[in-house]
Amino acid sequence: MSILGATGSIGESTLDLVEREPDRFAVEAVTAGSNAASLADIARRTGARLAVIADETKLDELKSLLAGTDCRAAAGEQALVEAASCADFVMAAIVGCAGLRPTMAAVEAGATVALANKEALVTAGALMTSAAIASGTTLLPVDSEHNAIFQCLAGNREEDVSRIILTASGGPFRTASAETIDNATPAEAIAHPNWSMGAKISVDSATLMNKGLELIEASYLFGLPSDRLDIVVHPQSVIHSMVEYIDGSVLAQLGSADMRIPIASALAWPQRMVTPAAKLDLASIGRLEFEEPDLERFPALALARQALEAGGAAAIVLNAANEIAVEQFLAGNIRFVDIAGCVRQALDEAEFDTPRSIGDVLEVDRVTRARTRAMMKASCA
Ligand code: NDP
């Protein structure tokens, strides 16, 4: 297998499982963005034969950290594509649109792809699902919600599904006032009540943009339009999502909030494997609660649905503007409330043709990032 984004939160959970069953998995390649020390440590531990760092300025450091091993060090986008194409199972866990080309390469190579990198599917969903059909690849969702839906669909006919219900924890600001939310700090925004995740997805969970990206991801993965995809806030994060069938039956997947469960489901599919995740104790949980999402306090969710319904390049614009806005929020340059504001403005101003290739997707992404940065500079001036 190859682990793309091995140094991240999903990468770490994947390695935890893989290292518990060394006879079951052989790690061929591992990748990171810029953390050479952690990547070299992972490559040594797993015996990987290829370690790739996206940041080319870190290649010499990576090479010297791997001196004396059989692991080849490489850097840059082409090397990431090589890492994605050299195994028959790929964990796609790079964060953001940076994961698009490598994830697409894994799909085109016909590998079984465990997909955590939701931004790749959000920005290039139609291209990626057609490429998956053409190459015969199996896409296994790792996002806990999509993995839950995947499990609830097993053994049923597609035409019997009436709707999918994605659950959302509501994030750290579920009960906060609009004023508190508007002025939230990065430390407050990344303090997720139930899940431990990377910084970008944690902020997305606080704005509910994460649920919006998941809505788009679900539409591509399961082939359903916006009006058959619902969202319900479920603060306990015990039910990870549900599928409603035409007879009124609703199937749900439950589990503790530990990403090693959906990751294990993808790693072992179509079998199961043991995980160290805590078993559910429903009696001590006591109550499962549900409520409607509040689109006034969390406008990002409505923007994502708008982008899904608009089609064309709208989801690429939504994602690119959001990535820049989150980066600037984490750097302390904009307020929490401005994240959705930037995304709205980017969507309002966007005029792009429907992308026909990954090159087209990356061009819309590049232009939107540049525009969003310029927009922020202008509003700060
Ligand atoms: P992290 O930020 O923890 O890790 C991101 C990984 O991507 C790291 O290995 C990082 O390397 C690498 N990376 C960052 N920038 C680049 C780049 N430009 N080129 C190549 N590699 C890069 O993210 P998460 O693990 O939290 O999330 C990964 C993906 O999984 C995201 O798409 C997220 O939405 C999705 N996801 C995550 C969940 C979670 O629980 N964490 C749950 C469901 C989905 P480095 O360490 O060197 O920066």
CA dihedral (105, 107, 108, 111) in degrees, to 10, reads 100
What is the per-residue pLDDT for 379? 78
123 in the same domain as 17 = yes
pLDDT means over runs of 10, the chain (381 residues): 98 98 97 98 98 98 98 98 97 96 98 96 97 97 98 97 98 96 94 91 97 98 97 98 98 98 98 98 96 97 97 98 97 96 96 96 97 87 57
Maximum pairwise Cα distance, the chain:
62
Same domain, yes or no, for 223 and 113?
Answer: no
CA distance 187 to 50: 35
Peptide bond into 270 cis (omega under 30): yes
Q: Are strands 229-233 and 72-75 parallel, antiparallel or unpaired?
A: unpaired
Cβ of residue 119 lying under 6 Å from some atom of ligand 1? yes
Q: 262 CB under 6 A from ligand 1? A: no
- Same-domain check for residues 161 and 278: yes
**Cα–Cα distance, 135 to 302 (Å, whole number):** 34
For atom 23 of ligand 1, which residue has the closest CA?
Answer: 198
Domain boundaries, position 201: 145-174+197-291
Number of the ligand 1 atom closest to the C-alpha atom of 119: 32
Q: What is the pLDDT of residue 377?
A: 85
Contact 28, 112 (CB under 8 A): no
Residue 206 and residue 127 share a domain:
no
Number of domains in the chain: 2
Q: Is the CB of 146 under 6 A from ligand 1?
A: no
Q: Which of 291, 321, 350 is the last residue of a domain?
A: 291
Sheet holding 250-254, edge to edge: 229-233, 161-168, 239-245, 250-254
User: Same domain, yes or no, for 246 and 281?
Assistant: yes
pLDDT at position 196 is 87
Is the same domain home to 100 and 156?
no
The answer as to whether 230 is a domain residue is yes
- Ligand 1 close to Cβ of residue 7 (< 6 A): yes
- The predicted pLDDT at position 381 comes to 57
Cβ atoms of 29 and 2 closer than 8 Å:
yes
305-329 pLDDT, tens digit per residue, is 999 999 999 999 999 999 999 999 9
Q: Does residue 150 share a domain with residue 137?
A: no
Shared domain for 33 and 58, answered yes or no, is yes
Say yes or no: 166 and 57 in one domain: no
- pTM exceeds 0.95 for this model: yes
- The confidence score (pLDDT) of residue 195 equals 86
Going from the Cα of 5 to the center of ligand 1, the distance in angstroms, rounded, reads 6
Asked whether residue 233 is domain-assigned, the answer is yes
Question: Does the beta carbon of 11 lie inside 6 Å of ligand 1?
Answer: yes
Is residue 189 situated within a structural domain?
Answer: no
Q: Do 107 and 153 lie in a common domain?
A: no
- Residue 284 is assigned to a structural domain of this protein: yes
- 117 ligand 1 Cβ < 6 A: yes
> Which residue, 283, 278, 302, is CA-closest to 211?
302
Does residue 54 have its Cβ closer than 6 Å to ligand 1?
yes
CA dihedral 131, 217, 199, 319 (to 10 degrees): 80
CATH number, domain at 38? 3.40.50.720
The SS3 call for residue 87 is coil
- Give 319 Cα–ligand 1 centroid separation in angstroms: 15
Q: Is 140 in the pocket of ligand 1 (CB under 6 A)?
A: no
Asked if residue 326 is part of any domain, the answer here is no
The C-alpha atoms of residue 107 and residue 354 are separated, in whole angstroms, by 21
Is 130 inside any structural domain? yes
In a domain, 16, yes or no: yes
Q: Is the CB of 145 under 6 A from ligand 1?
A: no
Between the CA of 345 and the centroid of ligand 1 the distance, in Å, is 26
Ligand 1: nearest atom to the Cα of 35: 47
